[in-house]
Amino acid sequence: MRTKSDDLEILLSVVDTGGFTAAAEFLDIQVARVSRAVSKVESQLGVTILNRTTRRIELTDEGRQFIDSVRVGLMHLQQAEEDIISRGELPKGRLRVDAASPFVFHQLVPLVQLFNQTFPNIELELTSNEGFVDLLEKKTDIAIRIGALSDSTLHARPLGRSLLYIVASPDYLAKRGFPSKSSDLVHHETIGFSTPKTLNDWPLKGFVRLTPTLLSSNGETIRQLALMGNGIACLSGFMVKNDIAEGRLIPLLESERMGNSDREQINAVYYKTSSLAKRITAFIDFIHPKLEL
C-alpha cells in the first residue's frame, strides 16, 4: 500500500517545525492526527524515521534520506497540479524569494509595489538570510546569491556584477585621515564580516587579509557602522553607490582597487520546474533590468 501525500506532508511539517505539537499548530489539526500520520508512514515503510525523546525529535539516517526524497517528490506533485490549473493564465500563486538582507533592502524592496501591480496574482514572500539557504529545506523558490556559485544542481540566471568599494564616512576621514595605500589600513579602524572570513579579502593590489577591528555578520549593519563613522569597510556597490553619490561615504584607494572578484557576481538560482517556472521567469525578467548594481 502506498503512502498518501497528505501523510507525507504532515511528516515533513513535523521535521520542519521540530515537533508533533508544533506541526499540529502549523497545520491546524489535532496532535493525534499528526501522530497517526507519522506512525502510518513508518509502518508502511518498515523503518523508523524519527527518534523521539521527551525534548525533541531527530531524524534517523534512513529518515534523513527519505525526507530529502519526499521534499522533491511533493514539490513535483504540487507543481504538476498547478501546471494544469494555471495553463494559459497569467502567473499566479506563492513565490518565495530569499536574499541577503542588504540586497532585499536596497534592491528588491523598491521594486515590490510595481511588481505586485504588474503581477497581482503572484503572492510574493521575501526572506533574508546572510548565508546560502537550502532551497528545498526552506521551501524557497528563488535565491539571490552574491559570489561564486558551487551548487551545480541549481539553475542560475546571472543578474550582473556589483563592484566592491572601500569606503568610509567624511567624519571618520576628517578625524583619522585618508589611507594612501592598502598597507595603511593596519593603522585604521576597519569594519568586516565575522563570517565567512573570505569576505574580509578586500580587492586591493598587494592586500593581505587583515583582522577587522569591528565585526558583524550582516552587510547592512556594516554599512550603518561605516555611515556612523566607525571605520573603513568594503561593501558592494548595490548598497553604497547612492551613499557615495550623495557624499555620505567616500570611496578610498581607487587606484589600487581590482575588479573581477568572485564576490562581485550576482545570480538568481532556482529549481526550474513546470508551472513554477512561470513565476520564476516573471520575477527575474521583471527585476533584472531594474536592478542598480
Q: Tell how far CA 92 is from the center of its chain.
A: 22
Name the 3-class secondary structure at 14. helix
Determine the Cα–Cα distance for residues 155 and 272; give it in Å rounded to an integer. 7
Report pLDDT digits (tens) over 61-89. Answer: 887 888 888 777 777 676 666 665 555 56
5-86 to CATH, choices 1.20.120.1200, 1.10.10.10, 1.10.3720.10, 3.10.20.30: 1.10.10.10
Q: What confidence tier does 22 reach under pLDDT thresholds 50, 70, 90?
A: confident
pLDDT on residue 176: 96
Chain mean pLDDT for the chain: 86
CA neighbor of 208 nearest in space, from 188, 232, 189, 184? 184
pLDDT on residue 273: 57
Assigned CATH for 164-258: 3.40.190.10
Residue range 273-282: average pLDDT?
74
95-162+264-290 to CATH, choices 3.40.190.10, 3.30.2270.10, 3.10.20.340, 3.30.9.10: 3.40.190.10
- Give 68 or 101, the one with higher predicted confidence: 101
Burial of 192: CB neighbours in 10 Å, binned 0-12, 13-18, 19+: buried
Do β-strands 142-146 and 265-270 pair in parallel, antiparallel, or remain unpaired? antiparallel
For the chain, which residues make up each domain, given as ranges?
5-86, 95-162+264-290, 164-258
Q: Is 260 left (phi over 0), alpha (psi -120 to 50) or beta?
A: left
Q: Output the CA–CA distances (angstroms, integers) from residue 104 to 85, 111, 127, 229, 279, in the order listed.
A: 31, 10, 8, 24, 18
> Under a CB-based contact definition with an 8 Å cutoff, are residues 149 and 269 in contact?
yes
Identical topology for domains 5-86 and 95-162+264-290 = no
Residue range 282-286: average pLDDT?
95
What strand order describes the sheet that includes 122-128?
A: 122-128, 93-99, 142-146, 265-270, 155-161
> Under a CB-based contact definition with an 8 Å cutoff, are residues 203 and 209 in contact?
no
Report pLDDT digits (tens) over 224-252. Answer: 999 999 999 999 999 999 999 999 999 99
Determine the Cα–Cα distance for residues 36 and 33; give it in Å rounded to an integer. 5
Single pTM value for the model: 0.70
User: In the predicted model, is pLDDT for residue 2 greater than 50?
Assistant: no
Report pLDDT digits (tens) over 140-184. Answer: 899 999 988 876 667 889 999 999 999 999 999 999 999 999 999
Determine the Cα–Cα distance for residues 225 and 168; give it in Å rounded to an integer. 9
pLDDT on residue 27: 82
